[in-house]
Structure 1
Amino acid sequence: MSATDDLIEIQQLLARYAVAMTRGDVDRVLGVFTPDGSYSAFGDTYPLDEFPALIDAAPKGLFLVGTPEVELAGDTATGTQPLCFVEHSEHRMRIGYYDDTYARTPEGWRLRTRAMTFIRRSGAHDSGRPHAFDRTRS
């Protein structure tokens, strides 16, 4: 497989994530991760078994993502992808970017880790407020 093929596969993987998040398809979202995958935001890291509750608690809307910057390194890669999320009921926006790690698996490229960074109106970049998700609700 060429580097171009790898990049296209990773871009399609990230497109599946964005479309699945927009549609609320939790199973498809989980399918883009490695079994040991994790998501980081709100000052914490969530393993995949906690991700459905995190998605359920999150606002619903449109996930608009840009083309990722990806650095390939054999069967692993790292990347950053810009995000603009538009909440569905009031069209409020959240902007930021994901910092990712990827792994080539027998099923193809998968996200191993995804960490969200929000860009605030002040210009600050942070991972969110720790109280934005309550793990005790699930």
Structure 2
Amino acid sequence: MSTSDRTDDIVEIGQLLAKYAVTMTKCDVEGVVSVFTPDGTYSAFGDVYPLDQFPALVTVAPKGLFMTGAPFIEFGEPDADGSINDATGTQPLQFVDHTQTDIRIGYYSDTYRRTDDGWRLATRAMTFIRRNGEHNSGRPHVVDLSSAT
């Protein structure tokens, strides 16, 4: 794989993650879903949410501004044909709640997969950085999706 190909992949993944942040900020459920693979998952609060639960999850998520930093991306090993079709990454996040300007900080741990439609998120896991310095995924079962449908 050439440096040019790798740069193209980095730019494409960066744009994919920018779309995630912008569509979350705009409460655009279809946009959020579109950045994931069909079997994609999101993890937070001690649970893993499959793609079919994303509409309800986005509905109950706090509203505000999702500000993300540049991701650190590591590519997997080449396939037999020399192409690289998977990668992992970490992306910092600062979320500002629009009602009280409360701030949450943390980072996403991601896996990416190349699909026929380009790079997509296969998994995204949220880690919050707490005031005491602890890093965790949140309190289990803090999200009740039954009331969002």
How high is the TM-score relative to the length of structure 1? 0.97
Per the TM alignment, residue 135 of structure 1 is displaced from its structure 2 partner at its CA by 3.3
Gaps of 5+ in 1: none
Q: Following the alignment from structure 2 to structure 1, what is the Cα–Cα distance between the partners of residues 51 and 141?
A: 20
SS in 1 for 2:141: helix
Match of 1:70 in 2: 73
* Equivalent pair of 2:60/2:145 in contact (CA under 8 Å): no
1:54 matched residue in structure 2 = 57
1:85 pairs with 2:92: no
Give the structure 2 partner of residue 11 of structure 1: 14
Q: Partner of 2:16: helix, strand, or coil?
A: helix
Instruction: Please state whether the residue corresponding to 1:30 is helix, strand or coil.
Output: helix
Query: What amino acid is the match of 1:10?
Result: I
Aligned to 2:133: 123
Shift of 1:40: 0.2
Percent identity, aligned pairs only, is: 63
Task: Give, in angstroms, the shift of residue 132 of structure 1.
Answer: 1.5
RMSD: 0.9
C-alpha contact 2:37 2:122 (8 A) present in aligned 1: yes
Bigger-Rg structure (1/2): 2
Structure 1, residues 116-137: CA drift from partner, whole Å, max 9, x if none?
Answer: 0000000000001113201332
TM-score normalized by the length of structure 2: 0.90
8 Å contact 2:47–2:141 — kept in the other structure? no
Amino acid at match of 1:69: F
Cα distance in 1, alignment partners of residues 131 and 115 from structure 2: 39
